[in-house]
Amino acid sequence: MKIRHVLSMTVLTLLTGFAYAGLVQPAPVVVDLDNRVALGDQFTARTAMNETVFIGCGSRTIDDGVNPFRFGFCQARDSEGDFIFCSTQNADLLDEMRALTAYAFITFSWNENDECIRVGSSTQSFYLPKK
């Protein structure tokens, strides 16, 4: 039974890898420092040929047993080398960050103090087959 489980997981992993292969991003990650907005596709950004291009958001909880502390962050670097990192403790933004999927198209904004003020995402696929 355990062997069947391991084989099933291996096949599913391989099929997932094949599904990702041959997919491209139709638009690059963009970091607009003047308007304080970044946008792009999270999965392709992470697996781009140029490993310095990325976008993503995440949240962390640190629990000391007395007062749990939650914070979130977004970060992006585009092909021009523009980079931004913002953070937040806003509960609504933390919930949005936790709901992101590997294929999410992410848009986030920040203020002059590098605090995230808006996080948006779309689960629509922006992936197109390679020609």
CA angle, residues 52, 88, 35, in degrees to nearest 5 = 60
- pLDDT confidence tier of residue 82, bands split at 50, 70 and 90: very high
What mean pLDDT comes out for the span 93-104?
A: 82
- pLDDT confidence tier of residue 110, bands split at 50, 70 and 90: very high
Asked: is 26-125 a CATH 2.40.50 domain? The reply is yes
Distance CA 37, CA 90 (A): 18
What mean pLDDT comes out for the span 15-32?
A: 60
How far does the chain reach from its first CA to its final CA, in angstroms? 42
Residue 57 near residue 97 (C-beta atoms within 8 A):
yes
For the chain, the domains span 26-125
* pTM passes above 0.85: no
Looking at per-residue pLDDT, the higher value among 14 and 36 belongs to: 36
pLDDT at residue number 8: 43
